[in-house]
Chains A and B, each alone.
Chain A
Amino acid sequence: MSDPVSALNGASFSGIASVDESGLAGMITLRGDLASPKLQAAVTSATGATMPEPGKVALSVDGGLCWMSPDELLVLVHYAEVEAKLAEINAGLAGEHALAVNVSDARAVFQVSGDGAREVLGKLCPVDLSAQAFVPGQFRRTRMAQVAAAFWLDQDGSFHIVCFRSVADYMFCLLSTAAQSQSEVGVY
């Protein structure tokens, strides 16, 4: 039996914000016509989340839907259920021009929380992270220093960052450096 582990096995750092690798997360990338009722029914019933508006994430107790582009969603599910959910989504998509793929093991997920969370991300991406501009439920694909990343902001003020697993160590070092204690800029 294989024993799945996340890229950094739950590494964490604490400074002006806490940086934690979130561990294994089930993720399905889905390309298709997001306006299609059939596609909408398949992903909303699989996750329990509503369809997200452009630039938003819709979360439920057991999963979520992230708006990636006009024809792409990132479907969040429990890691242990990903194959079953993928089969369920594919069954719902029968006859649709769409493609759903399990990308769970190709991704790493981090959580940045605490008072300095906005500052930590603000140091790394060309995104307005002020409280007025970036509100809970918002989802943004961008770059963090040299690598592609996507993140959303939770109701509790913590950021969830998704990146490629191959750059997980780079991302953790990046977030930890940006979160060094006494490194507040005081912008947000």
Chain B
Amino acid sequence: MLILECPYCGVKAEETELHAGGEAHLKRFGPGSTDGEFHDYLFMRENPRGVHFERWRHINGCGKWFHAARCTTTLEVFGTYSAQTFEPPQNIRDAITAKRPGWSWRDLK
């Protein structure tokens, strides 16, 4: 069972109170982009065994979207953070580095 703390209301929400929103920090490519960029935006996703960044929504609660960093192998949660950011904040990266030295995800290390 996955428990994530909502960064907006502080509730430690169990998975059934949440709605999974897929991979975090996607950059949208729409009109004006190349076919290749649009293809990658639509279809190409990370599928890591280990550190992963995701979007979640506190649907049976405050209703807000937020981000979570967790390990897909162990379900260990490194932290949750605001949706209003393009990349994970330093404290989240530090928390991951403490537990998984040498981790990488897309171009993040």
Contacts and interface: CB of A to CB of B under 8 A. Distances in A.
Interface of A: 54-55, 68-70, 72, 126, 140-143, 148
Interface stretch (B6-14, B42-50, B91-99): B6-14
Contacts of B63: 69
Contacts of A141: 11, 60-62
Given A70-B8, A142-B17, A143-B17, A148 B62 contact: no
A171 to B, nearest CB: 14
Interface residues of B, number: 13
Contact of B60 (A69, A70, A148): A148
B72 interface: no
A58 B62 CA distance: 18
B104 interface: no
Interface of B: 8-11, 13-14, 16-17, 60-64
B59 to A, nearest CB: 8
B61 A142 contact: yes
Contacts of B16: 126, 143
Contacts of A142: 17, 60-61
Interface of B is mostly: loop
A55 B64 CA distance: 15
Contact of B9 (A54, A126, A143, A148): A54
Contacts of A72: 62
Contacts of B8: 69-70
A69 B9 contact: yes
A140 B61 CA distance: 8
Given A55-B9, A69-B8, A70-B9, A126 B62 contact: no
A60 B62 CA distance: 24
A148 B62 CA distance: 11
B5 to A, nearest CB: 12
B64 A69 contact: yes
A86 B60 CA distance: 26
A157 B66 CA distance: 33
A47 B51 CA distance: 48
Nearest to A128: B12
A74 to B, nearest CB: 12
